[in-house]
Structures are given as C-alpha cells and as structure tokens.
C-alpha cells in the first residue's frame, strides 16, 4: 500500500466534503486519516451506521463506497438507493474493492456516469488524483437524469443476466423497475401494474416478443410505448405495431438506451 504524499495535493479554496462508507474499520480509519491530512472534510461510517437521511444531512460532494467481495450486495444496494433518490442521485461515487467483479454492461454504465472502481490495496497518491478528477468532472457535468419517474419501467427478457443488468442500470438512473421473463407474464403484469415504458426482448420461450405484441395490440388500449431490445439479425419491422417506438439491437450502446428511456418513459 503506497504511503500518501500530501505535498503535491492542491486543495480547492472551498473544501470538498467526502463521505466514506466501509465495513472494514482498519481501512476506514486509514482512509479517513489520509483524506483529512490531505485537506478534505471527511465523514466516515460503516454501512450499519448510516442511512439515506444521514447522507443528505452531510451533503457530501463525493461518496466513497467499499464493495466487499463476500458481501457486495450491501454496497450495491446502497449505491442503488443513493441513485434512486433525487437528493443524492447526482453525488459522484468512487467504489473501492479488493476483488468484486461487475458484469461488462454495468462496468460500462459506471464509467459513463462518473462512477470509478478502484482496486485495493490503495495507492493514495493515485487515489487523490482520482478524487480531484472526479470532483472536477462532476462539477462540469450536466444533469444526468431525465424522464418521468412516477411509474416504473417494465423490463422483459428471458436472459436473467441481461434482465438484472438492465434493471440495475435503470435503478441507478433513478427509475423504478419491474420485470418479466416472457410475453405471457408480461401481459399479466401490465394488467395489474401501471408502467410507463416496456423494454422488450423478442426471442423468449412460451410467448415470444412478436406474439406478445400481437396479443397486446388486440387486448389493451391505450398502449404503453415499447422499445424492442433484440439480438435478432432479421427483424420484421413491418410486423411491429405503431406503439413500438424504437428498436435497439443487442449488444446495445448504453448511452443510446438511456436516451430512449429518457425520451419515452413518461406517465401514462
């Protein structure tokens, strides 16, 4: 672990407030001391000691979350909680971890949303540079969130990994999400739950995406807008009803997906 060199650190006139959340007390104390000596205002907690209200109270300019390999769900859940609340959604995040691995889709998402992943042991000199860079980029970034959050988005895909990755990304954007794994379940879901947008895979068992669209067109009006997400090379666009507002081929670009969600995710 590199010893921090404070001599080259230029702290802005307005001292940034940094919140560190880590269940490893030794690492928490070390990071807290290092960042305080570098000139930042630091608040530090274990996950069991903090909730959303306390985060809001501190009003941090940056949050450092630790993801433990054996219990990464705690950090991941807290990250989603932060991004789903309007008061904390825009706070930049740095994730520290000793070995937690994310799917490619989520790593790509984190990179375009100014959420960096740093692997332990920390080299504090490099870590300080990243902190300054993250704070600067966040201050220059435009609002990252759009769309109406009053109704959830329905994600329909039989591939569990893809379904969970898409759901996690949307929740980090602040959207509520419900899921289905085939067209038949989707029909039942929209009968009992309001949603503002459907993200639909085509190749699914029991009732595929085409069959769902036919059944939905016949049974329910007005229609929720549908964005088709599919790896099929030969999609019959003429067979798609007019409430299909766009088709996004897999693998898709995350920025394009988020643009479409922001455009079409409106209250029904």
Are residues 204 and 123 part of one domain? no
* Tens-place pLDDT, residues 190-240: 988 889 999 999 999 999 999 999 999 987 678 899 999 988 888 878 878
User: Has residue 133 been placed in a domain?
Assistant: yes
Between 140 and 35, residue with greater pLDDT = 35
Are residues 218 and 166 part of one domain? yes
What average pLDDT does the segment 33-42 reach?
A: 94
Percent of the chain exceeding pLDDT 70 equals 87
pLDDT at site 9: 47
What CATH number is associated with residue 65? 3.40.50.2300
- Contact of 257 with 247, CB cutoff 8 Å: no
Query: What residue has token string 């964005």?
Result: 227
CA distance 63 to 42: 10
Give me the domain span that covers residue 88: 17-140
Are residues 134 and 159 part of one domain? no
Last residue of a domain, one of 140, 170, 194: 140
pLDDT band at 106 (very low <50, low <70, confident <90, very high): confident
How many domains does the chain fold into?
2
- The vertex-123 CA angle with 17 and 20, nearest 5°, equals 30
Are residues 163 and 96 part of one domain? no
| Average pLDDT of the residues of the chain | 85
Are residues 210 and 118 part of one domain? no
- Contact of 25 with 46, CB cutoff 8 Å: yes
Are residues 203 and 133 part of one domain? no
Are residues 248 and 165 part of one domain? yes
Query: What residue has token string 């940034």?
Result: 16
User: Has residue 8 been placed in a domain?
Assistant: no
User: Has residue 227 been placed in a domain?
Assistant: yes
pLDDT band at 6 (very low <50, low <70, confident <90, very high): very low
pLDDT at site 147: 43
Is the pLDDT score of 163 beyond 70? yes
User: Has residue 30 been placed in a domain?
Assistant: yes
Are residues 243 and 191 part of one domain? yes
Are residues 246 and 187 part of one domain? yes
Between 93 and 151, residue with greater pLDDT = 93
Percent of the chain exceeding pLDDT 90 equals 50
pLDDT band at 173 (very low <50, low <70, confident <90, very high): confident
Is the pLDDT score of 143 beyond 50? no
What average pLDDT does the segment 91-114 reach?
A: 80
User: Has residue 44 been placed in a domain?
Assistant: yes
Last residue of a domain, one of 115, 140, 165: 140
User: Has residue 12 been placed in a domain?
Assistant: no
State pTM to two decimals.
0.65
DSSP string, the chain: -BPP--TT----SSPPEEEEE-S-HHHHHHHHHHHHHTT-EEEEE-GGG--HHHHHHH--SEEEEEE-GGGHHHHHHHHHHHHHSTTTTTS-EEEEESS----HHHHHHHHHTTEEEEESSPBHHHHHHHHHHHHHHHHHPPP---S--SSPEEEE-S-HHHHHHHHHHHHHTT--EEEESSHHHHHHHHHHS--SEEEE-S--SSS-HHHHHHHHHHH-SSPPPEEEEE--SS--GGGS-TTEEEEEESSPPHHHHHHHHHHH----
Are residues 97 and 56 part of one domain? yes
Of the listed ranges 25-34, 46-55, 138-147, the least confidently predicted one is 138-147
What average pLDDT does the segment 100-119 reach?
A: 77
User: Has residue 145 been placed in a domain?
Assistant: no
pLDDT at site 69: 64
pLDDT band at 5 (very low <50, low <70, confident <90, very high): low
pLDDT at site 14: 56
Query: What residue has token string 């602040």?
Result: 174
Q: Dihedral sign, CA of 177, 183, 184, 188?
A: positive
pLDDT at site 222: 81
User: Has residue 183 been placed in a domain?
Assistant: yes
pLDDT at site 70: 66
Is the pLDDT score of 144 beyond 90? no
Are residues 87 and 185 part of one domain? no
Is the pLDDT score of 7 beyond 50? no
pLDDT at site 3: 53
* Tens-place pLDDT, residues 62-88: 999 998 866 667 888 899 889 888 888
Show the tokens assigned to 100: 């937690």
Last residue of a domain, one of 117, 140, 163: 140
Are residues 25 and 70 part of one domain? yes
pLDDT at site 2: 54
Gap between the terminal Cα atoms of the chain:
53
């Amino acid at each position: 672990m590199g010893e921090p060199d404070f001599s080259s650190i230029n702290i802005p006139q307005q001292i940034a407030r940094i919140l560190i959340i880590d269940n490893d007390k030794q690492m928490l104390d070390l990071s807290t001391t290092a960042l305080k000596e570098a000139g930042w205002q630091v608040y530090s907690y274990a996950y069991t000691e903090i909730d959303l209200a306390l985060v809001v109270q501190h009003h941090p300019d940056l949050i450092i979350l630790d993801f433990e390999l054996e219990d990464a769900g705690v950090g991941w859940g807290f990250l989603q909680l932060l991004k789903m609340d309007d008061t904390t959604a825009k706070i930049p995040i740095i994730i520290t971890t000793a070995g937690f691995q994310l799917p490619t889709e989520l790593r790509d998402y984190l990179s375009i949303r100014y959420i960096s992943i740093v692997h332990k042991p920390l080299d504090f000199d490099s870590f300080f540079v990243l902190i300054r860079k993250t704070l600067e980029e966040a201050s220059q970034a435009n609002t990252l969130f759009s769309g109406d959050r009053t109704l959830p988005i329905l994600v329909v895909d039989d591939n569990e990994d893809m379904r969970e990755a898409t759901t996690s990304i949307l929740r980090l954007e602040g959207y509520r999400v419900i899921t289905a794994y085939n067209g038949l379940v989707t029909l039942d879901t929209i009968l009992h739950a309001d949603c503002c947008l459907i993200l639909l895979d085509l190749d699914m068992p029991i009732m595929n995406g085409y069959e769902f669209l036919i059944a939905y067109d016949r049974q329910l009006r007005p229609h929720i807008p549908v964005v088709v997400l599919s790896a099929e090379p030969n999609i019959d666009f003429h067979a798609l009803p007019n409430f299909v507002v766009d088709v996004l081929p897999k693998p898709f670009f995350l920025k394009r997906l988020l643009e479409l969600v922001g455009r079409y995710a409106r209250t029904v």
